[in-house]
């Protein structure tokens, strides 16, 4: 798979304190991925975690980033160097979030956008 795929998504809402997957990303076989989370709320922190699933059946996951807090008006970048079947971003409490997803092949050439994600 040659090329680069980029997606942008802006989400907001409330999970009532329980974790909820606000994004499931299916980056195909691309090994190199960049995930940029930005908390766009001016006052509230965002509690989140990121999980990666090697298999599409969801039977187990790798915790890419354990539960942590992203302060208001801050960003965090994650570089993922392993191919996964899908990756989820899960949040708890109220969230105002912008997400930039990028995946790269070895060549770095522009590729048709055939990766997918679900909110």
* CATH number of the domain that residue 54 is part of: 2.60.120.1050
In a domain, 60, yes or no: yes
Complete DSSP assignment for the chain: --SEEEEEEEEEEE-TTS-EEEEEEE-TT--EEEEEEEE--SS--EEEEEEEESSTT-S--EEEEEEEEE-TT-EEEEEE-S--SEEEEEEESEEEEEEEEEEE-SS--B-----EEE-
pLDDT for position 20:
82
This prediction has a pTM of 0.73
Domain housing 36: 4-109
In a domain, 26, yes or no: yes
pLDDT for position 34:
83
pLDDT for position 7:
66
- In this prediction, the residues of the chain whose per-residue pLDDT falls under 50 are 1-2, 106-119
- Into how many domains does the chain fold? 1
pLDDT for position 109:
37
In a domain, 117, yes or no: no
């Amino acid at each position: 798979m040659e090329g680069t795929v980029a997606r942008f998504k802006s989400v907001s809402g409330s999970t009532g304190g329980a974790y909820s997957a606000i994004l499931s990303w299916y980056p195909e076989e691309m090994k190199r991925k960049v995930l940029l989370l930005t908390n766009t709320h001016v006052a509230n922190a965002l509690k989140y975690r990121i999980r990666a699933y090697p298999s599409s059946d969801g039977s187990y996951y790798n915790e890419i980033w354990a539960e942590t807090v992203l302060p208001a008006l801050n960003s965090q970048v994650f570089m993922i160097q392993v191919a996964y079947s899908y990756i989820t971003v899960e949040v708890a409490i109220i969230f105002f979030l912008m997400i930039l997803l990028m995946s790269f092949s070895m060549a770095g050439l522009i590729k048709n956008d055939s990766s997918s994600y679900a909110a």
